[in-house]
Amino acid sequence: MHALTTLTEEESLFQEEISRFAYETITPHVEKMDEEEKLEPTIRDACFEMGLMGIEVPDQYGGSGGSFFMSILAIEAISKVDPAVGVFVDVQNTLVNNIFMNWANDTQKATYFPQLCQSSVGAFCLTEANSGSDAFALASRAEAKGEKWILNGKKVFITNAAEASLFVVFANINPELGYKGITAFLVEKGAAGLELGKKEKKLGIRASSTCEVILNNVEVDTENILGEVGKGYKIAIETLNEGRIGIAAQMLGLAQGAFEGARKYAQERSQFGKTLDQFQSIQFQLSEMATKLEAARLLVYNAARLKCNQQKFVKEAAMAKFMVTQLAEEIASLSLEIYGGYGFIKEYPAEKFYRDVKIGKLYEGTSNLQLQTIFRHI
């Protein structure tokens, strides 16, 4: 096996533990969560109890003291069972916690890290109705008022918003400054003027909440600015670069889950007096999927290793997200076809993986944006 896919003993044990957790704890709730479009509260609590909501956070703050790579392994393992829970863990670790790791001051870390590790879900509030791919065409505004800032605006498509207790909100202090006016603010649930708008009804990852976040004259203390005034664009860009590896891991796990389901079905289903996996056409399909999965894993693990080793990884992260989301969609489709008509009904997981996979090409940078990023770095 290629060296990049070789795990240390600690990483291997961690991966096994999270895989066992996912299959034993999450699997019984997957169908119900998808139908009800809601994360099961016991799953949320279990993720905190397992230390999955603060994997990279240092021990001193109540975190697991692990690595970014371990976060990627966790996202992958969970997404084999349910990509909706995978993205729940992903956003907490690769976006929210990473922002605090890289940009929060000591007081902010001491205040919020213990909460994020033990009970508080975080939400990353960047996207707006007219600033999706053009992420910095923000309409949300922050106006200075003494020692406070007044925030107004509306964010859309905010993952984990329904569960969140802490919102990282990006707003512009002065539209004339363009992206140089964008600033990141910490807003706690319950703040006057902060409310959730509609919860989106989605094609896939339905248990993951996706809501509007509305800011109506929300007061934020100056001490709750993350980084510096005007550095929000830099915070967002660097955080999303890391987050794309998380989405690639989610899609990798999804593809692995779809593949394993199809392989198992092919071993059990009989036609014309023999199981499906005895037909050469099915053997070739499964072999091709396994090969593409290995290639996808190399891309994801390589980007994660580079990030962990503090080497340049932006190009590799974009390549991983672009290629793995392509491969995952193909594998999810082919896996469904191996089930035949059964793949089209909810008795088997194939149709859910097929619905869940599409979002991979869309969020945290569309496939076209990944190609733009790759071109700038080649």
Report pLDDT digits (tens) over 247-303: 999 999 999 999 999 999 999 999 999 999 999 999 999 999 999 999 999 999 999
Q: Which of 196, 229, 262 is the last residue of a domain?
A: 229
Number of domains in the chain: 3
364: annotated active-site residue: yes
Q: What is the pLDDT of residue 49?
A: 98
266 and 351 in a single domain? The answer is: yes
- Cβ proximity of 5 and 65 under 8 Å: no
- Cβ proximity of 188 and 166 under 8 Å: yes
- Cβ proximity of 113 and 54 under 8 Å: yes
Q: Of 365, 361, 359, 252, whose CA–CA distance to 314 is shortest?
A: 365
Q: What amino acid is encoded at 4 in this protein? A: L
Q: Which domain holds residue 308?
A: 234-377
219 and 136 in a single domain? The answer is: yes
User: CA–CA separation, 364 vs 127, rounded Å?
Assistant: 10
User: CA–CA separation, 362 vs 359, rounded Å?
Assistant: 5
Q: Which of 40, 76, 242, 364 is the catalytic position?
A: 364
188 and 281 in a single domain? The answer is: no
Q: What is the pLDDT of residue 134?
A: 81
Q: Which of 181, 198, 229 is the last residue of a domain?
A: 229
242 and 164 in a single domain? The answer is: no
The number of beta carbons lying within 10 Å of the beta carbon of residue 141 is 17
- Name beta bridge partners: 196: 213
pTM of the model: 0.96
Q: Which of 63, 95, 120 is the last residue of a domain?
A: 120
pLDDT tens-digit series, residues 77-135: 999 999 999 999 999 999 999 999 999 999 999 999 999 999 999 999 999 999 877 87
Q: What is the pLDDT of residue 136?
A: 73
Q: Taking all residues of the chain, what is their mean pLDDT, rounded to a whole number?
A: 96
pLDDT, average across residues 309-319? 97
- Cβ proximity of 317 and 303 under 8 Å: yes
